[in-house]
Amino acid sequence: MAMNGMRPVVEMQFDAFAYPAFEQIASHVAKMHNRTRGKLGMQMVIRIPYGGGVGGVEHHCDSSESYYAHTPGLKVFTPASVSDAYLMLREAIDSPDPVVFFEPKRLYWSTAQIDLDELREQYANGTAQKREGHAVVAREGTDATLISYGPSVPVCLSAAEEAAQDGMSVEVIDLGTIVPYDDETVATSVRKTGRAVVVAEAQGFASVASEIVARTQQRCFHSLAAPVLRVTGFDIPYPSPAFEHHHIPSVERILDTLDELQWED
């Protein structure tokens, strides 16, 4: 369909259910435009509900964004709010490139109220903020920066609120899109605060969080008062629902990590 000029939007239903299609996505969807020297576009969106926090079992709560972010030719979007989910999906559909659109499952149960007519109008008249390659400062602060995306952003905002009660001013960066990645917004924040923690549900080894840490350390080295730390899922298969609250980043784990940032300096 995409090769013939249509813009299909495919829903994989669950993150781990997308693995059988990964070969087609990585070998053909991501490469077709380059392989045909621009003659064939792949204007398609692959929606993948992902992440935990909903009491799901194995194959229902994976965070597989690293596989797709590592594949050249794909864009990777992940909203952190209901309004962002609508606006970013519209933006993904309009993209000239294939987009893997990761939808936090926890947003499906959100009770946030939005004015859909207003969002439609904002997108139609161009006043809605473009998120592709543009991270946003979800909360301003001066002492440390929390860098996150998707389902971990609301958790970071809650952690920042609790930290404020102890006199710590924490800035929260919502990436919005993992690919393309907004180095400038992240680096500007970290150079200001001098301390940073990356928060993501996926396991930490060889992850998107790992790449964010590396890029931040490289670009902000002379401004850092402490190493960039991470709060991620553990390097294990996703646990049973009874234990998932230990696995995914929590406010408590984020606050504990913020306490490790060499505040004696």
Q: Which residues contact 226 (CB under 8 A, 6 or more apart)?
A: 194, 195, 260, 261, 262, 265
Q: Output the domain CATH number for residue 153.
A: 3.40.50.920
What pLDDT, on a 0 to 100 scale, did the predictor assign at position 264?
62
- Residue 182 belongs to some domain of the structure: yes
- Residue 244 belongs to some domain of the structure: yes
What average pLDDT does this structure show over 94-101?
97
- Residue 10: which domain range? 2-125
The domain boundary residue, chosen from 125, 149, 179? 125
Residue among 60, 70, 222, 245 flagged as catalytic: 60
What pLDDT digit, counting tens, does each position of 39-58 carry? 998 999 999 999 999 998 88
Q: Where are the alpha helices (DSSP H) in the chain?
A: 22-24, 32-35, 65-69, 82-94, 116-125, 152-165, 183-193, 208-220, 244-247, 251-258
Q: Is 107 in the same domain as 143? A: no
Give the pair of three-digit tokens for residue 14.
Answer: 């669950």
pLDDT at 126 > cutoff 70: yes
The domain boundary residue, chosen from 99, 125, 151? 125
Q: Is 8 in the same domain as 121? A: yes
Predicted confidence band of residue 13 (pLDDT cuts 50, 70, 90): confident
Q: Is 112 in the same domain as 181? A: no
Q: Rounded distance, CA 74 to CA 181, Å?
A: 12
The domain boundary residue, chosen from 106, 125, 144? 125
> Does the active-site annotation cover 247?
no
pTM (predicted TM-score): 0.96
Domain count, the chain: 2
